[in-house]
Amino acid sequence: MRYFFLLIITLLSTILFAQEKQFATGDNGKFIYYKVVDSQKVSRDIIVQRTKDFVTAQKKSIKIVSDTDSSVSAKGTLVIDKTVLVVGHPSGELNYNLVVEARNGKYRFWLTDFEFIPYQRNRYGNFVATTNIGTPLETKVDKLTAGQWKDIQATAYAKVEKLGESLKVFLASDAAVKLPVKPAGTISTKNW
Amino acid sequence: MKKFLTAVFTMASTTCALAQEAPTSPLEISGSVDTYFKYDFAKQPNIKTSFASDHNSVSLGMIDLVLKKRTGKASFVGELSFGPRGQAQSLPNAAEDVSSFHIQNLYVNYDFTDKFSMTAGYMGTFIGYEVISPVGNFNYSTSYLFTNGPFQNAGIKATYKFSDKVSLMAGLFNDWNVYTATRGVSSIGGQLMVSPVEGWTAYLNVLSGAGAGGYGTIEDLTTSYQISKTFKLGLNAANYDIDNDGGGYAGVALYPQFAVADAVTLGLRGEYFKYKEVAGVAGDKYTAVTFTANIKSGGLTFIPEVRLDHNGNKPFVKDNGLAVPNAGQFSLAAVYAF
């Protein structure tokens, strides 16, 4: 019995802890997931290249918008699931912008501009987007839809956190990275 | 035909072996339940379109259960429905008391590439704007175009996606709404999807072969445009010609919808529909206007609706039994999707 109560208390604590996790708000009032990572062993160039590799590996859901020698900007989509125990179905998608900026010794990344697009089951039993216009995730909604919106925000946070962790792991990994090959310089034999 | 089908199945079975090695997705379970109250102003069922048929009764729609699973490039969908809407009112043999499989969708799909896929089985029709599941419709009652068109098509189809803006489907199908072909694999169908601008999708559909009332051809345009965050406009137009002057129908329906709050959307369906002339006898012409609200809270949607239909040939009745050109009804439905 003692173990049973202990288990219940642990579960409740976990649930309460989980509920506390939510997006921070950026300077512009939008939700943001922001991390600065110490990376002494990996150079700036490698961080940038690995970020590009990370995006390439998930090219169906993330696309690079722009990049420089020290940063990468990308747009992506995460599918939000509605899960009860082990079964469920997609309930919508979350569009976001990802920025990674690198310096020697550290890098930072953030995900923001979150927009949620709900899914609806179509005539073939597949879940598809009901609209092309997303609702900003930080939007305040009315009472009738508040409960559902809160669940979506919580699931979105969990998904974004997972994506952030996988990015960190990828950038820290020793996987072979194709560094850009500098074109060989032109040598003139006329003047010497 | 035999050679084509043999080639398709050989290709499918060869590549299936590879697909089995791919990771599997969890089993998806979704569905809905719906119930409604309808009051007909003539105090008897008067408007003959599908569903919401009972007068002055709290009645059942259906419980709908959908299973889906993907293993690598292969997937299946099975959709079972139980209740008046999902059985006798929409399935081929439910009313005959012989057997009812309760099946709305039962098909397998294989994505050969990101662009090319093939699907075989019993599928919701690709024709028309409205569907059997109440979750897929804004209005609870249905249009004349829906009631008279196909509900499901069993067959095999191939879809090629040129881009996110254009795709093409072509397939071979049984006659409409049957689990087993009564006239062989007798129809050919196609669908061109175009999305000229973001938010606007149009489907140009053709189905030719064995259908309702004989062999014929149906051409259908189904399109919707999310013009702004709050305003969406849908359109369905169709023409069905049955061979040898066997009649058919033509019609158009417009679906403007306006979101007035996060949880509340108001919508109108305006429809013109006519049956075609058969043996010199002109068909009936209907106009119908349906005003509907969707009020959502979580998975639950309340759908209050007022509908007014008109036909100059007086097919409707008044509460005293006299034939009249107009009919009206009020309904309140509750649909829960999970």
Q: Distance (Å, rounded) from C-alpha B306 to C-alpha A110?
A: 49
Structural domain count, chain A: 1
pLDDT band for position A2 (cuts 50, 70, 90):
low
Give me the total of CB pairs closer than 8 Å, taking one residue from chain A and one from chain B: 78
Q: Distance (Å, rounded) from C-alpha B9 to C-alpha B203?
A: 28
Residue closest to B273 by CA, chosen among B313, B233, B226: B313
CB pair distance less than 8 Å for A142 and B262: yes
Residues comprising chain A, all counted: 192
- The DSSP annotation for B90-158 comes to TSSSGGGTS----EEEEEEEEESSSSEEEEEEEEE-SSSS--SSGGG-SSSS--HHHHHS-SEEEEEEE
pLDDT of residue B91: 72
What is the C-alpha R_g of chain A? 22
All residues at 6 or more sequence positions from A33 whose CB lies less than 8 Å from its CB, including other chains: A23, A24, A110, A111, A112, A157, A160, A161, A164
The DSSP element (H or E) to which A38 belongs, if any, is strand A31-39
Residues B155, B173 contacting (CB under 8 angstroms): yes
Query: Best mutation site among B70, B137, B220, B297 for testing chain A: the one with the most A CBs within 10 Å?
Result: B297
Closest Cβ opposite residue A123 in set B131, B226, B232: B131
CB pair distance less than 8 Å for A89 and B30: yes
Average per-residue pLDDT for chain A: 84
Q: Does the pLDDT value for residue A64 go beyond 50?
A: yes
Instruction: Tell me which amino acid residue A74 is.
Output: A
Per-residue b or e along B18-56, where b marks 16 or more CB atoms closer than 10 Å to that residue's CB: ebeeeeeeeebbbbbbbbbbbebbbeebbbebbbbbbbe
pLDDT of residue B88: 74
Residues of chain A whose beta carbon is less than 8 angstroms from a beta carbon of chain B are 60, 86-90, 120-127, 131-133, 135, 141-142, 144-145, 147-148
In terms of DSSP bridges, do strands B187-194 and B166-173 run parallel, antiparallel, or are they unpaired? antiparallel
Q: Can you read off the two tokens belonging to residue B66? A: 């959908």
Q: Does the pLDDT value for residue A17 go beyond 50?
A: no
State whether CATH 3.40.190.10 applies to domain B2-337.
no
Residues B73, B19 contacting (CB under 8 angstroms): yes
Residues B153, B220 contacting (CB under 8 angstroms): no
Q: Can you read off the two tokens belonging to residue A122? A: 């179509």
- Which residues from chain A sit within 8 angstroms of residue B297, using beta carbons? 144-145
Instruction: Tell me which amino acid residue B15 is.
Output: T
Residue closest to A159 by CA, chosen among A72, A83, A104: A83
- Which residues from chain A sit within 8 angstroms of residue B295, using beta carbons? 144
CB pair distance less than 8 Å for B136 and A123: yes
pLDDT band for position A16 (cuts 50, 70, 90):
very low
pLDDT of residue B11: 45
Residues A135, A113 contacting (CB under 8 angstroms): no
3-state DSSP percent of chain A in helix, strand and coil, to 5: 35, 35, 30
pLDDT of residue B12: 44
pLDDT of residue B252: 98
Where chain B has pLDDT below 50, the residues are: 1, 4-5, 7-22
Closest Cβ opposite residue A145 in set B26, B68, B263: B263
Q: What is the ipTM score, two decimals?
A: 0.85
DSSP A187: -
Residues of chain B whose beta carbon is less than 8 angstroms from a beta carbon of chain A are 26-30, 66, 68, 77-79, 104-105, 107, 114, 123-126, 131, 133, 135-136, 198-199, 226, 228-229, 232, 261-263, 295-299, 337
Local structure of B312: helix, strand or coil: coil
Q: Distance (Å, rounded) from C-alpha B332 to C-alpha B58?
A: 9
Write out the residue range of the structural domain in which residue A154 sits: 23-172
Residue A10 resides in a domain: no
Per-residue b or e along A37-65, where b marks 16 or more CB atoms closer than 10 Å to that residue's CB: bebeebebebbbbbbbbbbeeeeeebebe
Higher pLDDT: A5 or A64? It is A64
Report the gap between the CA of A170 and the closest CA in chain B (Å).
Answer: 21
Residues B93, B100 contacting (CB under 8 angstroms): yes
Q: Does the pLDDT value for residue A145 go beyond 70?
A: yes
All residues at 6 or more sequence positions from A67 whose CB lies less than 8 Å from its CB, including other chains: A48, A52, A73
CB pair distance less than 8 Å for B133 and A121: yes
CB pair distance less than 8 Å for A124 and B125: no
Where are the domains positioned within chain B?
A: 2-337
Closest Cβ opposite residue B298 in set A88, A126, A148: A148
The lowest-confidence range among A79-93, A171-185, B320-334 is A171-185
- Which residues from chain A sit within 8 angstroms of residue B298, using beta carbons? 145, 147-148
Q: Is residue B121 left, alpha or beta, with left meaning phi > 0 and alpha meaning psi from -120 to 50?
A: left
Nearest CA in chain A to B199: A132
Residue A103 resides in a domain: yes
Nearest CA in chain A to B79: A125
Residue B296: count other Cβ atoms within 10 Å of its Cβ: 19
pLDDT of residue A5: 54
* CA angle, residues A134, B269, B125, in degrees to nearest 5: 75
Rounded alpha-carbon distances, angstroms, from residue B330 to B182, B316, B327: 39, 16, 11
Q: Return the residue matching tokens 């098909």.
A: B107
Residue A81 resides in a domain: yes
pLDDT band for position A3 (cuts 50, 70, 90):
low
Any idea what the CATH number is for the domain that residue A109 is in?
A: 3.30.530.80
Report the gap between the CA of B125 and the closest CA in chain A (Å).
Answer: 8
